[in-house]
Structure 1
Amino acid sequence: MTGIDAPVVIVGAGPVGLATALVLGRHGVRSVIFEQYGGINPHPRAHVVNTRSMELFRTWGIADAVRADAVDPAWAGTILWKQTLAGEPLGRIDVGEGPEDQLLRRLHASAEQLTSCAQDRVQQHLLDAVLTQGMADVRYSTTVVEVTDHGNLVDVTVEGVGGRQVLRTCYAVAADGATGGMRDRLGIATDGSPVLGHQLNIYFHADLSPWTRQDPALLIWLINSASPGLLIGMDGIRRWTFQRSFDPAVESPQDYPPERCARIVRDAVGAGELDVDIRSVGSWTMTARTAETYRSGRVFLVGDAAHQFPPTGGLGMNSGLADADNLGWKLAAVLGGYASDTLLDSYERERRPVAVDNARHSMANAVRMAEVGTGPETGGIAALLASPDPVVAAAERRRIAAAIPAQRPHFDALNQEIGYVYGAARHAGGAPLAATAYTPASTPGARLPHAWVERDGERVSTHDLLVPGFTLITGAGGTAWADAFAETAETTAVAETGKTAETGEGVPKRTVVIGRDVTSPDGQCPELLGIGEEGALLVRPDGHIAWHSAGGSSPASALAALLHGAEPPA
């Protein structure tokens, strides 16, 4: 570490950059974050916080704060289609009124549930956690102008209020978004779909309760000729965004001053008299692109720098948070001296297939949404709905109402959120996930299934048993597994990485024996984890399973292979 200013430099203080720093800090690794802007962008963009992200927030200690800032659950599960907000519904999806087996599957799959919390609020809670943790230096109004990878270290040149500075680091993480520029400077190309369109995002404050009080909804698609678009409730009270198509070839966000935007909102609501406070206007490009590689030497891509999806599915920020969790512990393991650098190659091997499948799912949702009035056909559909011929208008209303139920996988895709298994997508030739049909799995590469257990008189999730290290969970008769792991994991990992015993304390780890350390009052936990009385499984720091006793190997040898970047055993 001689001459190193910080072990890790992170470019970008958005949710994913902050999450990366938070994960590193949990593992005892310091970082510096550089953000070109002066603070958190108050313009809310993403808002869906899916089940897996809420589980991560639970682990990181901010789930309660995010939940407190989230939209009321009564809003979050309802999606409406209307001509204007003041008009009658064309149709709806209530996620909480779906098939019973699907609802029960979601209820029992996790200690947390999908919610909606505006990105600026999520970002604030992540920043608060990072600052409280005290392991990261967050520097706003500082631009990264150059990154030079020397092979054994990285120089990061920045410009800020104090002038130009060069920091020397072991690894750099590009979390600067889809248009941040780091990916392009590294010469990393992307592949995927062509541009589907461009969207204008108007953030405003207004009291829409006369139309939402009796029929609240998180998302309201408005199909009309005057002002079509999507209305999103960011707090269920006064904070809203309105998204509509625009053509950057002939206009820009600067062509939308507050008075024009207010008129657009009033037309979408269907109210000539409405007090609208326009707060900001932004734009974004709808596309699905994935970086061809997530690593360039000692520099890694996370979040939108690595992948960009249409928002149809709410997977963008959520995928980035899981990127941060995956990469963070691996960087810490290498910097801690108990893993080889090849472990870092597994970051791309595991996360890129997930991004590709999320892009596929998001694109399928976007294409399917054209059936109910979004996309290039909006004008024609709006004209039919407004036809002076009541027969034509009624027929179009019936057609849309019949097409809306098919949109449900867009809004209720539990398997997409938590069902991916590292290694499985590659071994199955990239077969897509079934979006809704989640089944808990205890196979290597899968996320640890959630089950309720009792610890010291308190009801906790199996996810609450995990530590910033490796956790071995055994059945009641598995104390031999636990004892052997506690005795051998440290020496095996040290030996396999070529380090001497003096390099540190070895692999951070914990053992949990069901029946000794925790109890399973309903008896379901050992069965759900697939370990019974005598079995065991080893859980990675990111909550994914590294090894299962049915695999025939030992946890220590499986751990050593993992720390060398090997794929999970079959």
Structure 2
Amino acid sequence: MRDDTTSVLVVGGGLVGLSTSLFLSRHGVDHILVERHAGTSIHPRAWGLYPRTLELFDALGVTDDLLTEAAGFAGHTLNGKVESLTGRELSMTRIPEPEDVSDISPVARILSLSQDRIEPILLRRAREFGTDLRFGTELHELEQDANGVTATLRDRETGAERRVTARYLIAADGAHSPVRERLGIARQGRGTLRHQISIVFRADLRGPLRERRFAICRIANPEVDGVLGHDDTLERGTLIVTHDPQAEPFDTYTPERCAELVRAAVGVPDLPVTILSTLPWEMAALVAERYAEGRVFLVGDAAHVIPPVGGYGANTGIQDAHNLSWKLAAVLDGQAGETLLDTYDAERGPVARATMRQAALRLAARAGSGDGRRETAVADPLSVMFGYRYRSTAVVADEDEQVGAEPDFIDPRALSGVPGTRVPHLWLDTDGGRTVSTLSLADRRPLLIAGAKATEWYDSALAVTRRTGVRLDALRMGDGVTERERSWHDALGITENGAVLVRPDGFVGWRTPTAQPSPDRVLDTVVARILAHATA
């Protein structure tokens, strides 16, 4: 058996696993990714990326490719309920145009695109990074100790095995995560809400669709009660039906039966149909009791399964990966203490639980089972994706502030530089003639942004780097960078003598509204806190 060594082993090459790989590559972390399937998913699964997720992807150089891929879905705006595509229309509305969020994000709108079209773009980018990607390879055995993780990998075609030793392992292996099961990590929540089967098929839908283009098309007839989706070629679709696994096990959904269901949904009895794949899955609301066990971390569906209403699941998983990646990179590079990794669970677990509750409230409202009190508790989707707040040892709260354990969802237009929240988006002009967002300033290391008159904070950041070896970036407003419209100081709640420390994930780690005595000592303490006493 041959041995390989790497810093991080990523198990799972789906949407979140590939995103994890890209974030690690962005931070220069060597890693291996393994995926049990031979290629990316052919099932649409997750649909839509919120602007916050696209902000993260923009730094990876994939946003433009994603927008190009999504161009064919621009007119798919109908939300309908029909007996079949050729039958009676029971209800028909049009989904409003996506809200313009250019005032809160450098990415102006939601991306409408399915997982099967997103994953190949991420895979292509991962290959451009030179990542060691091993599809058709499954995790066979797993052991860990205080020094690292030892995994035995098996090639599913040949049966050949290789052993990999890694400092850390990231499990992005889905809702039924074998890694999570091996670790004995339980999940909490409402559990399985519904059993579903997705049927991916090929058929000519141009005639039945006529000039209509659906974002959501519900089918209601004696043979089919489900949801029918179609792509921009109009020759490929997905039919999702609910089933009872006790009364009708998955193996009773043969290709012949699935083809008949598709014909009934389309309303053409003799429609030529090719069944490409069927996939059983559970609509569920579950969050892992913990996101880590030793040197193994859970991301995406392995950590949480969120009902699909609202489209939060994949976006939340990608944001998991982004949070974890910079922390692993800092620890592996000696820039942070290993206990920084404890803040991954402390930060992302509460966000997932709160997001799961939001999705469940939306599901209840859609089913007509919500009440007035529940409906007022439903947060706007942009608040859910942009407005959560981290509370952990990697955040230094404002002095005398009282904070709770669970995140509140803040209107993203009200973000004001409170520690633990995402930095507000402002356009800045540089002396070099470029226009950049505040969100792109912090990248691979923490960034100290000093007020226009806060030279002492700027100098202190440079002094911390010289004295401790902890690398900080620093800039001072007005020194090569100026606001285009809104005042940076007002947006962050500081004076011209104040400062803000932004973490590599674009979240505020600490701020001081004004000057303070002994800024070097203050900043030493802050950096030691956020990076788990790396400077102590």
TM range (shorter): 0.7 to 0.9
Q: For 2:226 and 2:4, how far apart are their aligned partners in 1? A: 50
Q: In the alignment, what sits opposite 2:196?
A: 199
- Single out whichever of 49-58 and 249-258 deviates more from structure 2: 249-258
Question: Match of 1:193, SS?
Answer: strand
Q: Counterpart of 1:539 in structure 2: which amino acid?
A: V
Q: In the superposition, relative to structure 1, how do residues 245 and 148 fare at CA in structure 2: closer, same or farther (>3 Å)?
A: same
Change (3 A) 1:128 1:114: same
> What's the counterpart of residue 140 of structure 2?
145
Q: Which moved more, 1:77-86 or 1:341-350?
A: 77-86
Residue 430 of structure 1 pairs with residue 406 of structure 2:
yes
Q: Distance in 2 between matches of 1:132 and 1:110?
A: 27
Q: What is the root-mean-square deviation of aligned Cα atoms in Å? A: 3.0
Tell me how far 1:259 sits from its aligned partner.
Answer: 3.6
Equivalent residue number for residue 85 of structure 1:
85
Aligned to 2:343: 346
Are residues 429 and 470 of structure 1, via their aligned partners in 2, closer, same or farther at CA, if it must alter by over 3 Å? closer
Q: What is the letter of the counterpart of residue 203 of structure 1?
A: V
- In structure 2, what is the equivalent of residue 380 of structure 1? none
Q: 1:417 to 1:76 in 2, by over 3 A?
A: farther
C-alpha contact (below 8 Å) 1:303/1:319 kept by paired residues:
yes
Number of the residue aligned with 2:420: 445
Q: CA deviation at 1:214?
A: 4.2
| Contact 2:527 2:533 (C-alpha < 8 Å) held by counterparts | no
Judge conservation of contact 1:144–1:157 (CA < 8 Å) in 2: yes
- Listed as ranges, the matches of 1:122-521 within 5 Å are 122-134=118-130, 136-160=131-155, 161=158, 163-210=160-207, 212=209, 214-235=211-232, 237-272=234-269, 274-371=271-368, 413-423=381-391, 427-430=403-406, 433=409, 439-455=414-430, 456-489=432-465, 491-492=467-468, 494=469, 506-507=470-471, 509-521=472-484
Confirm whether residue 29 of structure 1 aligns to residue 29 of structure 2.
yes
SS class of match (1:116): strand
Given that residues 228 and 237 in structure 2 are in contact (C-alpha distance below 8 angstroms), is that contact kept between their aligned partners in structure 1? Answer: yes
In structure 2, relative to structure 1, the CA distance for the partners of 1:451 and 1:233 (3 Å cut) is: farther
Q: Distance in 2 between matches of 1:77 and 1:345?
A: 43
Structure 1 or 2: more strand by fraction: 2
Measure how far apart 1:345 and its partner are: 0.4
The one-letter code sitting in structure 2 at the alignment partner of 1:287 is A
Contact preservation (8 Å) 2:84, 2:221 = yes
Pairwise CA distance, 1:318: 1.1
The CA distance in 2 between the partners of 1:79 and 1:448, in whole Å, is 35
Calculate the TM-score normalised by the size of structure 1.
Answer: 0.82
* Range that drifts further, 453-462 or 343-352: 453-462
Q: In the alignment, residue 18 of structure 2 is paired with which amino acid? A: L
Displacement of 1:360 in angstroms is: 0.6
CA distance in 1, matches of 2:166, 2:274: 45
What is aligned with 2:14?
14
1:558 to 526, 529, 534: 526
Q: Secondary structure at the match of 1:17?
A: helix
1:539 is aligned to 2:514: no
What whole-Å deviation, never above 9, does each CA across 1:155-199 have from its counterpart, x for those lacking one?
111122472222211111111111131101011111111321100
CA drift of 1:58 comes to 0.7
Deviation at 1:340, TM superposition (A): 0.9
- Name the SS for the 1:95 alignment partner: coil
* In 2: Cα distance, 1:88 partner to 1:484 partner: 67
Is the 1:43–1:203 Cα contact (8 Å) retained in structure 2?
yes
Task: Give aligned-pair identity as a percent.
Answer: 36
For residue 420 of structure 2, what is the amino acid of its counterpart?
G
Alignment partners' CA distance in 2, 1:282 and 1:414: 30
Q: 1:75 to 1:528 in 2, by over 3 A?
A: farther
- Please give the TM-score of this superposition, normalised by the length of structure 2: 0.87
Once the two structures are TM-superposed, the CA of residue 565 in structure 1 deviates from its matched residue by 7.6
Q: How many residues align?
A: 511
| 1:255 positional shift | 2.5
Contact kept, 8 Å, 1:25 with 1:133, in 2: the verdict is yes
Describe the shift of the 1:186–1:408 C-alpha distance in structure 2 as closer, same or farther (beyond 3 A): closer
Task: Give the distance between the partners of 1:154 and 1:20, measured in 2 at CA.
Answer: 18
Which of the pair is proportionally richer in helix?
1
Distance 1:356 1:186 in 2: 21
Q: Specify the alignment match of 1:41 in structure 2.
A: 41
In structure 2, the gaps of 5 or more residues are none
* Letter of the structure 2 residue corresponding to residue 133 of structure 1: F
| Structure 1, unaligned runs of 5 or more | 98-102, 373-402, 495-505
- Name the counterpart of 2:95: 94
Query: SS in structure 1 opposite 2:479?
Result: coil
- 8 Å CA contact 2:390, 2:407 repeated in 1: no
Cα distance change, pair 91–440 in 1 and its aligned pair in 2 (3 A) = farther
SS of 2:530 mapped into structure 1: helix
1:442 partner SS: coil
Instruction: Answer yes or no: is the 8 Å Cα contact 1:310–1:362 preserved in 2.
Output: yes
